[in-house]
Amino acid sequence: MRSLVHTEHRDQLLTDRQRESLTVAHKHGYFDVPRDATLAGVADALGVDPSSGSATIRRATNHVIGEFMVSRNR
């Protein structure tokens, strides 16, 4: 079982670029269901190619999930 937790290390969790990428993706609706933005559109807004945008968003998402989702068995 996993649960959501709080972190005191917000400023250390993501790089500035990762934080910017997640913020832009969120504002453009990339995480909405159904999705309101394409990866190409988000990458364009960030000024990067889609593969770089995808990698940055995936790394940032992985950091957030790893920090906030913890096993209750810990």
User: Between the CA of residue 9 and those of 5, 6, 39, 60, what are the distances in Å?
Assistant: 12, 9, 28, 14
Please state, in angstroms and rounded to a whole number, the distance separating the CA atoms of residues 11 and 23.
14
pLDDT tens for residues 1-47? Answer: 454 455 565 567 899 999 999 999 999 999 999 999 999 999 999 99
* Predicted TM-score of the model (pTM): 0.78
Please identify which residue in the block is written with the tokens 């917000």.
Answer: 10
- Where do the domains of the chain lie, and which CATH numbers do they carry? 2-71 (1.10.10)
What sign does the dihedral 47-66-14-31 (CA atoms) show? positive
Strand runs (DSSP E) across 1-74, as ranges? 2-4, 69-71
